[in-house]
Amino acid sequence: MKILIKGAKVVNNDDIFDADILINNGKIIKVEKSISGRADKEIDACGKHVFPGFIDIHTHLRTPGREDEEDFLSGSKAAAHGGFTAVCCMPNTTPCVDNEGLIRWVIEESKKIGLIDIYPIGAITKNRKGEELSEYGAMAKAGCLALSDDGDSVENGSLLRKALEYAKMFNLLIISHCEDKSLSAGGFIRESFISSKYGMRPVSDISESAIVYRDIALARYVDARLHLAHISSKKSIEIISEAKKTFSKLSCETAPHYFTLTVEDIEKSKFHGNFRVNPPLGEKHDLEAIRKALKEGTIDCIATDHAPHSKTFF
């Protein structure tokens, strides 16, 4: 089956140009100005931008365990609707995706739907408890590409060091959720004038940047790959930017809300629950630093941290 997309504005990583796109049996075979000839289906894309399929490396599909919030079908549809052809899903599910059986299960179940590719991320520690390593070798064999205890940092530094070392054997990427819970516990809004004004339990940006610093130090020490999830503060970016000068195995992501919204928007919204995210929205200088870091490449990618909640959560 041949599909022809006409008159598109094609967006590539390095260029934007006008072209037609010819697809044969699901494969792009030609990107050229005015392709003629017959196709089974023609799409008029005049005045529209055409992007390569997006990949979201940080989502929560809530399955297994909270299929009332999201399942692979609703998650696949949501992704495809937004132009995502592949997503990685975090293992903070019930049961936790910390073994080869569940890795295999996620891949098989998502293939049955077949809308997008779903890549499960395995847990760094068994049941994400931060106590024992999970079986990386077995999970890698089953198709796992990365590991994260997302939702929590691996609090025990010695254990994270072992995780980074052990993951190297299977070329698995460790993804850190950077949050020192002793600094953030109980809080839900960035520590700022606004949190003080309303007496809300605050989270300081240090709860992120302190762990950013520690995790980079550990990864560098054992020469392992490390990715930092949902970076939200200027302080973290300063540390990452400095580290990247000499440590090439480091990468990081931010999420759309951290370069579009600030803690002031929470006040403007009259404290609407939709503005409650973790890590919490930062201040103006954080937003500006993140935009700059995206432009300069200090931040490698944007991930959504798509994390549906049921209404009863609020």
Distance CA 123, CA 278 (A): 19
Residue of 199, 206, 213, 284 lying closest to 252 (CA atoms): 213
Residue of 281, 275, 272, 224 lying closest to 247 (CA atoms): 224
> What is the contact mask toward Zn ion in residues 229 to 268, using x (rule: CB under 5 A)?
x---------------------------------------
Omega of the bond prior to 91 within 30 degrees of 0, cis? Answer: no
At residue 236's C-alpha, the angle toward residues 225 and 291, to 5°, is 100
Q: Name the binder of 214 from another protein, Zn ion, none, CB < 5-8 A by kind.
A: none
Omega of the bond prior to 120 within 30 degrees of 0, cis? Answer: no
60 binds Zn ion (CB under 5 A): no
Q: Is the CB of 126 or the CB of 244 nearer to another protein?
A: 126
> What is the contact mask toward another protein in residues 208 to 237, using x (rule: CB under 8 A)?
--------------xx--------------
The gap between the terminal CA atoms of the chain, to the nearest Å, is 47
Give the shortest CB-249-to-Zn ion separation in angstroms.
20
Amino acid at 176: S
Q: For 55-152, where are the alpha helices, taking DSSP H only? A: 72-81, 100-113, 136-142
Point out which span in 29-37, 157-165, 182-190, 293-301 binds another protein (CB under 8 A): 157-165
Catalytic residue flag (residue 305): yes
29 binds another protein (CB under 8 A): no
150 binds Zn ion (CB under 5 A): yes
Q: Name the binder of 169 from another protein, Zn ion, none, CB < 5-8 A by kind.
A: another protein
Catalytic residues: 305
Residues near another protein, by CB under 8 A: 126, 131-138, 159, 162, 165-166, 168-169, 222-223
